[in-house]
Structure 1
Amino acid sequence: MKAFIFDLNGTMINDMGFHLDAWHNVINNDLGGSLSREAVKKEMYGKNEELLVRVFGEGRFTLDQMADIAMEKERRYQQVYLPHLRLIDGLPEFLEKAYQQGIPMAIGSAAIPFNIDFALDNLNIRHYFKAIVSADSVKISKPHPETYLMAASLLGVDPASCIVFEDAPKGVEAAANAGMQSVVLTTTHTAEEFAAYKNIIAFTDDYTSPALASLTVA
C-alpha cells in the first residue's frame, strides 16, 4: 500500500525564511554569536539542541538552557509567521485527493510538537494524518532514518512503499537511508543542492505540478 510522509517546515508551509530570521537573531543578538545568515542556514537541520551544539560546541549550555533558548526562538518565529501561515499552493487539494483515495499519510518532522500543533491546528488539517513523528518522538534526528521508519511503522506500511515530501538535503538523505523515494519542494534549496541523492522522483515549486498528479491516482 502506498503512503505519503510529509516533512513540515518548507515542505507543507513555506516558512523556512522565518525560522532563519529567528535563529539568526537568537544566535547573534541573544547568544553573542557572529554567524552570517548563510552560515545559520547550513546548520538548520535536526533538533534545536543539536543546532546549538553545532554552533556553540558541547557544554556551552545545559539541556535546560537549550530547551529555554529553543522555545524562545519558536515563540518569536510563531509570532512573526502567524499572519503569513498558509499551505503551499496546491497542497490543500493534494491532501484532500489523497485522503479521498485512502492513501495513509503522516508527518515526519524535526520540529517540536509546539510548532507542529501550531501549523496543523491553525490550518485545520490534523484529520488528514494518521501518524505524527516529531523531534520528541525520536532519539536520532535526520539524516538518520528513524523519523521516517517510525512514521511508516505507525502507518502500518512497508518503508519501500512510502513517498517522502521534503525540502532539505538532510531530509532526502534520511528518506534514502529509510529506503524511501522523495519528492523535493524547492522552497528552501535549489535542485542542484540535491545532486548527490538518487531517490528523488520529482522536483517542484509547489503541489500544482503535473508531475505530482499521478501520485494520487488509485
Structure 2
Amino acid sequence: MTSSSQPYALIFDMDGVLINNTPTQAKAFQLLFRDLGLTTNARRLLDRLNGMPASKILETVFTNPVPEKQLKEYAAQREFLYRVLYWDKRKETPGLSRFLQDAREAGFKIGLGTGSASDTISYIIDHLELRRFFDVVVGKDDVERGKPHADTYTATSRQLGIPPERCLVFEDALMGEQAAYKAGMRCIALSTTLKPEQFQAPLRVIKDFTEITPQHILELLEQNPPTPKPSKELAKRQYMKL
C-alpha cells in the first residue's frame, strides 16, 4: 500500500456518514421535546452536538439537573421515535459500498466507531448488509466516554492494531471531528449535516462517497498532513438555549 509495511486504517462514524439520517434524528428529538413541553430547536441542537450519545445531548437542554435514569428513559423514547420514522428510509450514503469494497482491496483496515448502542448499530449496518466490510465495530457499549472524548476512536484504532497517526476518520459532526483530533487522527468531513465552513480543519469535505476514491485517500495521507489540535470552543457541551 505504501512505503511503510503497516497499512492505514479508515474509521467511519455511522449516523450522517454511512447513512444520511440527521433530518430524521432531528424530527425524533423534536417530537420528544414537544412531548416534554420544551421549545428547543432540535436541528440547531444537532448542528452543535450531533455525535454525542443521545442522553448526553438531552442533558444539555434542561436548565436544571435531570437524573441519569430519566435521561436514559428520554433517550429510549427518542430512539423508538427515530426507528419508527426511519424504518422505510434506511439506505446507505451514495457510493458507500463501492468505496468500502475498493478500500479493502487497496489494503486499508476498516473500522466503525459510533456513539450508538449495539442494537442501533445492527438496525442500520445489518439491514444494509454493511457489517462484512468492517474489521472492527466499536459502539457506545464498548467505551466509558462518548464523543467528543477520544475513547471511541482510540478503542477502534487499538482493536484494528493500527496507530492513531495512520488512522483517518470520516465524520459529519463537530463532536466527532473533535474526538478524532483528540485521538491523534486526521479527518475527512461529510457535509450531510453541516456546511463545509462549519468544520474545524478536515483534510477534505465531501458530499458523499462518489466524490473520493481510496487512491485519493492514500495520496492525502502520504502527504503526511499534521493532525489539528482539538478546539476547546467547538467541544463545549454547555446548555445552548436553542
Please give the TM-score of this superposition, normalised by the length of structure 2: 0.81
Tell me, yes or no, if structure 1 residue 209 matches structure 2 residue 211. Answer: yes
Task: Identify the residue that residue 2 of structure 1 maps to in structure 2.
Answer: 8
Q: CA–CA distance in 2 between the matches of 1:37 and 1:73?
A: 12
Label 1:180 to 1:43 Cα distance change in 2 as closer, same or farther (>3 A).
Answer: closer
Q: Give the drift of 1:44.
A: 3.1
**1:26-66 residue CA offsets vs partner (Å, 9 max, x unmatched):** 02x22221112444323433112211211115632x33322
1:120 aligns with 2:122: no
User: Counterparts in 2 of 1:55-94, with a 5 A limit?
Assistant: 55-57=61-63, 59-60=65-66, 62-94=67-99
Instruction: Give ranges in structure 1 of 5+ residues lacking alignment.
Output: none
Q: Distance in 2 between matches of 1:37 and 1:65?
A: 19
| Match of residue 97, structure 1, among 76, 98, 102 | 102
Can you list the C-alpha shifts for 1:49-95, whole angstroms capped at 9, x where unaligned? 211211115632x3332222212211211121121111111111001
Spell out the pairing of 1:98-177 with structure 2 (5 A cutoff): 98-177=103-182
Q: SS state of the match for residue 88, structure 1?
A: coil
Contact 2:49 2:175 in 1 (8 A): no
CA–CA separation in structure 1 for the residues paired with 2:173 and 2:90: 20
**What percent of counterpart residues are identical?**
29
Q: Greater helix share, 1 or 2?
A: 1
Is 1:22 matched with 2:28? yes
Q: Distance in 1 between matches of 2:174 and 2:52?
A: 12
Q: How many residues align?
A: 212
| 2:53 counterpart of 1:47 | yes
TM-score, normalising length from structure 1? 0.90
Gaps in structure 2 of 5+ consecutive residues: 1-6, 220-242
Residue 165 of structure 2 aligns with an amino acid whose one-letter code is A
- 1:161-201 CA-to-partner distances (Å, cap 9, x unmatched) read 0010000122111111111111110010011101x33xx22
